[in-house]
A and B are shown apart, each in its own frame.
Chain A
């Protein structure tokens, strides 16, 4: 639950961060869902070149699995991460046209996701808003670190690893690409936005 809800960042950064989740409900339409999930992955595969990550909790993420494997999965949930609204819109339109009967949730800037729905004739059904973080917020790492770590909703990307990756880049041990990939490996679900992570790492280093 909520693993794509509490992503941090300014609206200008979040314009490049959308997550699509497709799943079936236990006791409603999950039973015998395997064939439908294959079709979900077939739709997502049409946009593979523009996805910054994809996967599910059991088969892995874009580093550890492939669309071909996912098309045969029996797991009832699929994630894909988009860096631009137009590709998300095209994908969502295809889901609408295929009418698979599977629940689809999109995470991202509401002013954009609402418009996307309107442009393709969908009416948003239910929305979840984050109200932020409360309690001992002084324990939190710096905001620019949080922007990266909160892209793994299970909090498996360590703030210390972000700092280590910055050091590795600065000292020539890793490229931006390699650093973003190392961070992404910790996120089992495939919702970590590699494209955005690279940009955020670059920004952190340029502003240091």
Chain B
């Protein structure tokens, strides 16, 4: 996103709308106007969507690779070139009643890098994905983060995307329940090696008596699952058959 500094009146109305605080005051021809820090901007398009500029000075430009990756991950209205779908991940558990992606005995893991609202570089993303790659996890293939990797076994990205910054991006995979603790410990360890934050979600196919072993393992590992969850209530058809 850019601001036409010739047109900008310096009214500052746009500044609070930027989720990552990339709009700054700058001096231009002896006037104070607004400008967008191109390194900080994640190309989410909120400044334009807010429609508050009285001078129509905010505009978007056609983005070339690798900068185009910023909009693909940050603006939910932009489709990913890898999948043709919009959004930051997959359908994960939303349709698990008909896809059977997550079965009993497994845990689905979603690590949303940069969330909530801080943003992430692909360099930080790679730090986390490669630490998981070393555990041998198999990243979800139908996911835009995985599609961006140059090596989906190790979790490595190409050098040219490492400094690109996005609002968030989701690393997804599933593992056997008996390996969940090892993954959670790795996440805790790697969380001290990055310059941003991540939010973690774990997916459980509910057991016959309402049991959720994955949640118990997380608790025993010292994590505190939040009281609010997402629950697929099983109304999808055809209902997947359990193996």
Chain A residues in the interface with B (C-beta under 8 A): 1-9, 11, 14, 17, 21, 23-26, 28-29, 57, 92, 95-96, 99-111, 113-114, 117, 122-137, 139-141, 146, 149-150, 154-161, 163-164, 185-186, 188-189
| Chain A residues with CB below 8 A from B117, complex form | 140-141, 146, 149-150, 155, 158-159
Contact B233 A105 (CB under 8 A): yes
| Chain A residues with CB below 8 A from B238, complex form | 28-29, 101
Docked CA distance A156–B19 (Å): 6
- 19 additional A-B residue pairs with CB within 8 Å, beyond A130-B200, A160-B17: A1-B170, A5-B201, A5-B230, A6-B226, A9-B228, A100-B235, A104-B233, A108-B228, A124-B231, A125-B205, A126-B231, A127-B230, A128-B92, A128-B203, A129-B215, A130-B199, A134-B198, A159-B19, A185-B49
Contact A124 B234 (CB under 8 A): yes
- In the complex, number of A-B residue pairs with CB atoms less than 8 Å apart: 276
Chain B residues in the interface with A (C-beta under 8 A): 15-21, 44, 46, 49-50, 76-77, 86-99, 102, 108, 110, 112, 114-118, 167-168, 170, 172, 184, 187-188, 191-192, 194-206, 210, 212, 214-215, 218, 223-238
Docked CA distance A43–B95 (Å): 19
| Chain A residues with CB below 8 A from B118, complex form | 136, 139-140
Contact B224 A131 (CB under 8 A): yes
Contact B223 A131 (CB under 8 A): yes
Cβ 8 A contact of B196, one of A9, A28, A139, A164: A139
A156-B228 contact, Cβ under 8 Å, with A103-B97, A131-B202, A131-B218 = no
A92-B233 contact, Cβ under 8 Å, with A2-B170, A129-B204, A159-B117 = yes
Docked CA distance A163–B18 (Å): 12
Docked CA distance A146–B118 (Å): 11
A128-B224 contact, Cβ under 8 Å, with A28-B98, A140-B118 = no
Cβ 8 A contact of B231, one of A17, A107, A155: A107
Docked CA distance A104–B223 (Å): 28
| Chain B residues with CB below 8 A from A26, complex form | 91
17 contacts between A and B (CB under 8 A): A100-B235, A101-B235, A102-B236, A108-B229, A125-B96, A125-B232, A126-B234, A129-B215, A132-B226, A134-B200, A141-B117, A155-B115, A158-B18, A158-B20, A158-B117, A163-B16, A188-B77
Contact B230 A25 (CB under 8 A): no
Looking at B16, B18, B188, the one whose CB has the most chain A CB atoms below 10 A away is B16
Contact A103 B227 (CB under 8 A): no
